[in-house]
Amino acid sequence: MLTQICPRRLELGPQDAMVANLADGQLEGGQRSILIDPKSLEQIKFIREGEFNEVDGAPTLRVIGDAQTVPAEILSPVRTVREEVTVDAILRNFINRTPVEQPLSYFKQVSHEQGYTLPIFYYLHLAGQSRKEAAATLRSYKNARENSRVEITKLLNGKRTLHLKLGSTRGATFNRIYNDPETTIATYQQAKDVCSALTGMWEADAPKFDHFHSLLQMSLAVWEASDNDRDLLGYIRRAASRLDELEYGALVPNE
């Protein structure tokens, strides 16, 4: 327990004085805390218990116990980083199953897009929201596009699906990629054909969802190399949204 009070601290007052917390290496005071790096420590004189002697103008800390420096490179300051929410980010994070901060920001951005066919259930699952809560949240977005709001609400209520029936050509493509785990996508046409076929998947295809994510990753890479071709992006969006509907829609409860 600290039994001797520094006169300088009495002069400053509790709001401007700080206390060294040796448990986590921080200086704490008021509503702020700072870390002391080794360079700063070289400028501070630490005084042990029983050896206190204030010298005017000296940068002094009174420490009970031993003080040790910690190399700055091993400190890991807490940072909050969130990439800009774009269509690209919404797709990429879903396709890569990347956990994101503030997942409702991604859901909100979908409601602001004219093209509302984008993954939403993945982000609602991360946010822990039910379909009923998501519908209420959607209504609270004042700047959401009305058409997007209506269509997303239909999807949340099960009154709309992103499934597209497979014809003979698309069905053959789906069967091929379903049974070939070594499928590669290197061209625009291959990406377009695969994504078109993926919109015909069903719940029973769940054992292949990991494979479908890989196919979408390859398709996204082709899109990135195609100078952001809008037509191909549309195919990727529809396929990713159908996969999201099946894979994560089941994880978002009704209430």
Domain extents in the chain: 7-74, 87-251
Cβ contact 198:242 at 8 Å: yes
- The reported pLDDT for the residue numbered 3 is 39
Residue of 80, 36, 83 whose CA lies nearest to 61? 36
- Model's pTM, two decimal places? 0.68
Residue by residue, DSSP assigns 133-201 as: HHHHHHHH-TTS-HHHHHHHHHHHTTS--------HHHHHHHHHHHH-TT----SHHHHHHHHHHHTT-
- The reported pLDDT for the residue numbered 109 is 96
Measured in whole angstroms, the distance separating CA 68 from the mean position of its chain's CA atoms is 36
Q: Whole-angstrom Cα distance, residue 95 to residue 244? A: 9
- The reported pLDDT for the residue numbered 59 is 52
3-state secondary structure of 20: strand
Cβ contact 81:60 at 8 Å: no
- The reported pLDDT for the residue numbered 21 is 53
Q: Enumerate residue ranges in the chain where pLDDT < 50.
A: 1-12, 22-23, 32-33, 46-52, 63-64, 67, 70, 72-81
Q: In this predicted model, what pLDDT tens digit does every residue of 66-99 receive, in sequence order?
A: 545 545 444 444 433 455 799 999 999 999 999 9
- The reported pLDDT for the residue numbered 116 is 87
3-state secondary structure of 232: helix
DSSP 39: H
